[in-house]
Each structure stands twice: as structure tokens, then as C-alpha cells.
Amino acid sequence: RPPEMLMYMGGWGMEFLPPEQEEKRIGINDYSFYRTGVVNAASRKIMEALETGKPYPIKAAWIQTTDLITGTAPDPLRTKRNMETLDFVVGVDLFMTATMMAFADVLLPAAAYPERNGIRVGDGCQRGETINKAVDGGECKADMEILLDLGKRFNPEAWPWDTVEDMYSHILKGATGLSFEELQQDAPVYLPYEYYKYKTGKLRSDGNVGFNTRTGRVELYSLWYESLGLDPLPQFSEPTPSPYATPELYEEYPLIIITGPRMWGYFHSENRRQEHLRAIQPEPTIEMHPDTAMKYGVSDGEWVWVEGHRGRAKRVVATTPTLDPRVVSTSHGWSHPEEGAETLFGMEDLNINKLIAWEDMSKIGVGANYKTMLCKIYKV
């Protein structure tokens, strides 16, 4: 594997967080996984804290680069009820999304990519590129410019840069030795690549020969997982619900539904407002085998309800012989911007995550049952 240019998933600046504040991170005492370099709070426990006030009441939210109740959050109606209890919400977005319409007391308009400078490190973080500002964004500001302004007010020591370009240069220096302006000129940039580093000790911080694991070996038995109190060996856990885990539910909801497929033109809840992209797939479809459609008396182009034991959402039938007749598949992130703000762009009718509960999280506190739920279908 080529060397990674920026290990950005964990963020930066944790050294400024005192230990007593770190212990207040919601979920850190519920899931051992959150003590292993994960820097966010556990979303399921945030939902519970909003409802119970424990371990402490949550009063405000800053929502940036996410559309909670249209995108990936489970149980959007519960999410909406809980978020409405907050005293103050600030949103940052390109559009007045359903989330911004529902919650934001203040909305800061974000700059689109032609209106800002930025770093692009490529899939897998192995290729260094830049986003280069082409036009003036007017009153909009780049996401990172907004965060820099906010950070300088909260803690100037942790945000010492005058411009976002200075901040980018600081981030890049350690990995590439380049400033932002130099990366602009030289992009694309790749780090030097060396094979068989495990033979020479260059793969480990201690300089010993081997892989970057506790034993130096390829660990099929994960000592890291064992240290977290998790099963150190790969295992299969039957999803819940499923035909085998909940046979009584399977009788009422006899189809297995996948809600994770991707579509050209869309990314999560993005781009439904772009007419040329919306034209690629104008409506949310549910794919099924032709035999399945015949069995339930529906046909291509018809609107159906897709219902699980927790909720339902509307979809348009699209038949395909590529699916198992027991399985149906649909995408997430749907809204109808043309419906207007009164219905939050059709959120209640279209959000397939109404079938998913926050309690569906995995044992380590991340993910949800997005791909193996049970459902039934019937005409709208």
C-alpha cells in the first residue's frame, strides 16, 4: 500500500483538550472503541442524552457538512424531535436543506468549490492536489475559513494562522514538506514509495522488522480487539431483524431490503437540486426482481410504500433480473426540493431511514442496520 499523505480522519489538535474534558466526550465510557483514536462522540448516545439529559444536558449544536434528517441518520422523526429540544443551532451549508429549515437559528452560507481554496488528497490519501479558487464567493465563506474564524475566537493558541492557506501549509509540511502554494504548482504530488518496508523496520515507529501491529506479524487474532474487550477473531453475527433472527417478523415482512446502493450523480443527500443531475434519476426507485413485482401486483413506474416494523417510505418500482427475488434494493438521501419547506421537502414520505432505529448500532458503537432489514411493499 502506498504511504498516506495525510492521516486526516482523526483530525488534529487533541493535545489542546484537557483529560477531564476528554472524559466528557459522550460515548467514551460506553464503547471502548472510542478510546482508540476515534475523536467524535457516539451518535446513538447523543440521541439518548438529548432525551434524558444524561450524562449532561445538550444545549446547542453546530451542524456543518451534513443533512441529518435527509441523509444517513437513523430514525429521522426521532432525530428531529430530539434536535428540536436544543436552545440554539448554527448551520453551515450551500443550501437550505431540510435539516437547516428544521433546526437552524443562524445559517452561514458556505462557498462552493469554485469559490475557495482547499486541499484534495485523493482516494486513500496518496495523491496530493489542490482546489483552486476561480471566482469570488461574495458573502459566502469556505467551510475551513468559517472554522478558522471560530477557532481563533475560542482558542487562539490552537488556531495561530492568519489565513486558511497558512493553515493548509502547516498541515502539509509534516507529510510532504510543501507549502500550499508549492502544492498548487506541483500537483499532483505523490510521496516516495518503497516496497518491503516490513523487512527493514521502516514500517514501524520502533524501527523493528515486521508489520505495524503489536506482535509485528499479520494478526488474524487481533490483540487490539482483545484489548478492547471485543472478540479477537472474525465472527459472523446474524443481523437483527432477519429471516433467521426474527422469523415471526419475517412472516409479516417477507422481503430483505438493502438501503446502501449508490447512484451516479448523487452523494448521500446531495445534488437533488441540480436539474441536470436530478434528470439522471428523478425519483427514488426500489429495485426488485420481476417475479417479486408480479407476486405483489406492482409494476415499473408505480409508487409503492416500503414498510418495515418501524416505519415506511415511498418508492417507485424498477424491476431488474439481477436481484434475488427475496431481496429489494433502494438508495437513501432522498428529498423533493420542489415540494417546499412546509413538508421539509418530502422528508417524512421519502426517508428510507424511517425503517432503521438508533438502537441498531453495532457492538463498537458505529454503523447501523442499513443493508439487511425486513420489509413488505404495497401500492400507494
Residues 58-105: tens digit of each pLDDT: 999 999 999 999 998 999 999 999 999 999 999 999 999 999 999 999
pTM for the model stands at 0.89
Q: What phi, psi does 146 have (nearest 5°)?
A: -65, -45
pLDDT at 12: 79
Residue partners of 257: CB distance under 8 A and separation at least 6: 306, 308, 327, 328, 329, 330, 355, 373, 374, 375
96, 298 Cβ separation under 8 angstroms:
no
pLDDT at 1: 57
Q: What phi, psi does 127 have (nearest 5°)?
A: -125, 125
pLDDT tens digits, one per residue of 123-158:
656 788 999 999 987 899 999 999 999 999 999 999
Residue ranges of domains in the chain: 8-58+110-190, 194-235, 247-379
CATH topology identical between 8-58+110-190 and 247-379: no
Three-state SS for 299? coil
pLDDT tens digits, one per residue of 148-205:
999 999 999 999 999 999 999 998 887 788 999 999 999 998 888 889 999 999 989 8
Fold of 247-379: Barwin-like endoglucanases (2.40.40)
Q: What is the CATH number of domain 8-58+110-190?
A: 3.40.50.740
The position carrying cell 438529548 is 50
